[in-house]
Structure 1
Amino acid sequence: MAQRRVTVQSEVGLHARPAALFVESAANAGGEVTVGKGEGQAVSAKSILAVMGLDVRKGDEIVITAEGEGAEQVLDRLAEIADAG
C-alpha cells in the first residue's frame, strides 16, 4: 500500500471539476484507492459523493492511499489534481 499526504492548492478544493477528475483518475486504478481529510475517516476515492462529502477546501491536507500495481503512479496523478491551483 502506498500513501501520500497532500495540501490541496486548488482554489475550489476537491469540488466540481477537480473532484470529477480526481474520481475519474481513481476509478481507472486497478486496486483500492481511498482519500481522507486530515486524520479523518478515509472514503473511496472512486465515489464522487464520498469525495464531495469530505468538503475538502483549499489549504486542507488530504491523505491518499492506493493499493495494487501502479499505486505510485495513481498517487502522482491524484496529487497533481489536488495540487492544481
Structure 2
Amino acid sequence: MNLFLSEKARANAYLASIMLVSLVVRALIGLVRPELGLAETALIGLTTMLLAGPALYRMLFDAPLIKPEKRLPYVTISACACGMFLYFIALHA
C-alpha cells in the first residue's frame, strides 16, 4: 500500500481515514440517537480513534502504532473510553 505514497501523504491519509471513520460512526449512531450533543460526539470520535487508529496506522505504515511497552496503558485508556461510550451513549437514555 505504501509503495507509491510519501511519508507525508501516508500521514495525511491516516488522519483523513480516522476522521472519515469517526464521521461514519457518528452518522450511524445519529440515526438511532439524533439527540446526541457535542460531548457525546467527541466521545464517539475519541473511542473510534482509539479503536481504529492502530489498525489504520499498521495498514498505511507497515509498522505498529503502539510500542510493546506502551500497550498496557493504551489498552487501559481504550477500555475506559469504551466503558464511557457504553454508559453515556448506549445505555444512558
TM-score of the superposed pair, with normalisation by structure 2: 0.26
From the two aligned structures, give the one with the greater strand fraction.
1
Q: Report which of the two has the higher share of helix.
A: 2
Which has more radius of gyration? 2
* TM-score, length basis structure 1: 0.28
- Structure with bigger RCO (C-alpha 8 Å, 6+ apart): 1
